[in-house]
A and B are shown apart, each in its own frame.
Chain A
Amino acid sequence: MTALRPFLLVSLFAFLLPLTPARAADEHAQHAPKAMKKRIELGSAAVFAPDGTLLTVSKQDEHVVLQRSADQGATWSEPLKVNAQPEAISADGENRPKIALASDGGILVSWTQPLGKPYSGAIRLARSDDGSSFAPPLTVHRDTAEITHRFETLQTLPDNRVLVAWIDKRDLEAAKGKGNYRGAAIYSALSTDGGRSFLPERKVADHSCECCRIASALDTDGALLLLWRHVYAPNERDHALARLKADGSADSVQRATYDHWRIDACPHHGPSLVVDAQGVRHAVWFNVKDGEGRVFYGRLPSGNESRVDGQRSIGGPRAAHADLALNDDQLAIVWSEFDGEKTRLDALVSRDNGRNFEPLSLASTEGAADQPRLIQHRQKLYAFWRTEKEGFRLIPLP
């Protein structure tokens, strides 16, 4: 044991610092390993335009920027600022900027703008009609309180409608001093003009978990489904699934998973959802079940059933942040998994509606990695993965 033990070091510094003149302290600051070093926030999103151009959004300082690739990610355009005026932007894994195309072709970009107070934020959205510049961003909710409106999901719908849903703490704030309000709430706001303006927001459900991404998908009849981590009494962090009416309010809310993870904690690990042509809802999510934290795949109950069909764990014990997508009869799941040396990007592909899966190894990185996403273009699925060392990566699935 020759190396100085880290906490011994800290105690030493804590003792020495007040004795040291300012200059020496400055020198120390230059040489000591400082946690202050700013890490790039890797949270990003991508979508294919109809002409095959790949569009990504990510954070650069106080701007969300849009970049284009005409060659499937080999080369990228100069970044285009989405918000011309700088503002604070969240871009970690669960709370990253999003991009979607409205049915009139407009490019929509959403993000969470952290405000001054802890946990506070505003849901922002900017629209570009022609892709060359963006209109000034708007806040999609009417509530101006400096509280949590964060972790938005952005979903474009037929007829130029757009729905944004997010985690909102106005009900928690209102309940303060009046008893215990579990978790936060899900709110949504609907646009009927391609994201140029939004109708007043509506509450979808009380008692969501506080800091996991929300998944969205379209049901077979075009209704929007939302899937999120919920807090069932007293503190079971299972998932809830809502079907929305055309106006964005909840048509039904039902329990979607039954892992019974009872905990007061922040998993930072949200689900993903797709619906197949028969209306079966396929999902991936993270939970601790029987004492073991795992990523799961399963087919969610519809109607009054209270069981998940075909639930199985995905990858190994460190599998994380899975996404899934459907292309005709091909159901694909991607996730990242640290193997002790590097982070791997792995996939499972099923041709029989999730009964059997074939494993695939797609990529790996030795540095930090964003959550992977599956995106689609011309009947083909691609994994989109941003890694600190390699940048934006687009990996076609076979």
Chain B
Amino acid sequence: MIRPLLMLCAALLAAPVSASDLTALDRSTARQLMADASQGQPTIVALWSVECTHCKKNLQLFSTLARQHKNLRLISIAAEPEGSEHARILDRHAMPAARYAYGSDAPEAVAYAIDPNWSGELPRSYLFDGKGGKQKHSGVLSRQQVEQETGLAPRR
């Protein structure tokens, strides 16, 4: 009995991330997600879209960092309703399973719940160090900046 279970676990661990579905966010779940993201451990919330060329650079950087730092929690939010390409792009960048997209709620309201001071430019990233520190950035980020602001590397 134990042996098949172990095998199953091993198979699950080895399986590529293929959570093809993105979870839909409305304004209340978005607000909750951002509140929770600030708690407990270094966390990145990465907003992106299929059409945003610059976003893919951040996704790649974040997923590399998440593989290197096991305590880094990485959450992606597509700032649009899920389409056929989202999961494929996230898979290509080996983004973990915490994948979200805008749901049927008004996009203006979801965006406001994420951050009332964000004007919609992408990529948009929120870096939490797990100790109450929070930084927000628009645009492509450097590895050094992300490691420092998530507390993964000491600040200079």
Contact = CB atoms under 8 A, between A and B. Distances in A.
Interface in B7-66: 8, 11-12, 15, 17, 19, 21-26, 29, 32-33, 36-37, 49-55, 57
Q: Chain A's interface: helix, strand, loop or mixed, by majority?
A: loop
A15 B98 CA distance: 12
Contacts of B22: 35
A286 B32 contact: no
B22 to A, nearest CB: 4
B108 A15 contact: no
B140 A17 contact: no
A102 B55 CA distance: 40
Contact of A10 (B98, B111, B120): B98
A266 B36 contact: no
B152 interface: no
A343 B120 CA distance: 15
Q: Chain B's interface: helix, strand, loop or mixed, by majority?
A: mixed
B138 A288 contact: yes
Given A210-B53, A293-B119, A318-B119, A368 B106 contact: yes
B23 A33 contact: yes
Interface string A1-29: 00101110111011101110000000001
Interface in B87-107: 97-104, 106-107
Contact of B119 (A36, A39, A264, A320): A320
A266 to B, nearest CB: 5
B21 A6 contact: no
Interface string B102-133: 11101111011000111111111000000000
B98 to A, nearest CB: 4
Given A6-B33, A210-B53, A265-B139, A368 B98 contact: no
A36 B84 CA distance: 8
Nearest to A369: B108
Given A39-B102, A264-B54, A267-B121, 12 more contacts: A7-B37, A7-B98, A17-B19, A29-B21, A32-B21, A119-B53, A264-B57, A265-B139, A266-B49, A288-B138, A317-B117, A318-B112
20 contacts: A5-B33, A13-B97, A17-B19, A18-B12, A18-B15, A33-B29, A35-B81, A35-B86, A35-B103, A39-B81, A119-B51, A211-B51, A265-B52, A265-B122, A268-B121, A268-B122, A288-B119, A317-B119, A343-B106, A388-B106
Interface of B: 8, 11-12, 15, 17, 19, 21-26, 29, 32-33, 36-37, 49-55, 57, 73, 75, 78, 81-82, 85-86, 97-104, 106-109, 111-112, 116-124, 138-140
Interface of A: 3, 5-7, 9-11, 13-15, 17-19, 29, 32-39, 118-119, 210-211, 263-269, 286, 288, 293, 317-318, 320, 336, 338, 340, 343, 366-369, 388
